[in-house]
Amino acid sequence: MKSNISKKEKITSIHANLATINVDKTLDYYKNIGFKVLQKFPETGESEWGWVEKDDIRLMFQNKTSLFKEFPELNFQTQGGALTLWFQVENIAEWYENIKDKTKVIRPLGVTPYNGANEFVIIDINGFILHFSDFQLKN
């Protein structure tokens, strides 16, 4: 017997799939700042796609040729895009010390005047801006 009770839909996660020129160099960059490579495709040769993780955060990277073939609507976009990725971080001073010499810091660790959070900002090798903060969002 089929139940008439419906389950409420629920979105359980979001993972950015970001265009890059060179997936392998991007995976190496993220490994260098503390991420773990979860998967890449193909497993041998030049990668078209890869997935990294640090703690509960996952990012995917796909080479532009493959991604733009899959989604031709993206062909007008420039590398890096007009976006920032904002990460909520515990022990931000320790995270900053671990990566500051391994990447380009565009805003060093400091306290923001608008919310009193400790924050810093880096730019990755693809032009993506990564914003790290210990600001606590209120639900």
More confidently predicted of 4 and 83: 83
Asked whether residue 80 carries a pLDDT value surpassing 70, the answer given is no
Tokens 């010499």 label which residue?
101
Q: Residue 93: which residues within 8 A CB-CB, separation 6 or more?
A: 109, 118
115: tokens are 């919310």
Among 37-41, 53-57, 75-79, 131-135, the range scoring the smallest mean pLDDT is 75-79
Q: How many helices (H) and strands (E) does the chain have?
A: 3, 8
In whole angstroms, give the CA distance from residue 51 to residue 49.
7
User: What's the predicted TM-score (pTM) here?
Assistant: 0.83
DSSP run (H or E) holding 30: helix 23-32
Candidate from 27-41, 49-63, 76-90 with smallest mean pLDDT: 76-90
pLDDT-wise least confident of 18-22, 80-84, 90-94, 129-133:
80-84
84-114, pLDDT tens digit by residue?
Answer: 899 999 999 999 999 999 999 999 999 998 8
Q: Name the more confident of 73 and 79.
A: 73
Going by their DSSP bridges, the two strands 57-63 and 84-88 should be labelled as unpaired
| 107 backbone dihedrals φ, ψ, rounded to 5° | -145, 110
Q: What pLDDT is attached to residue 123?
A: 94
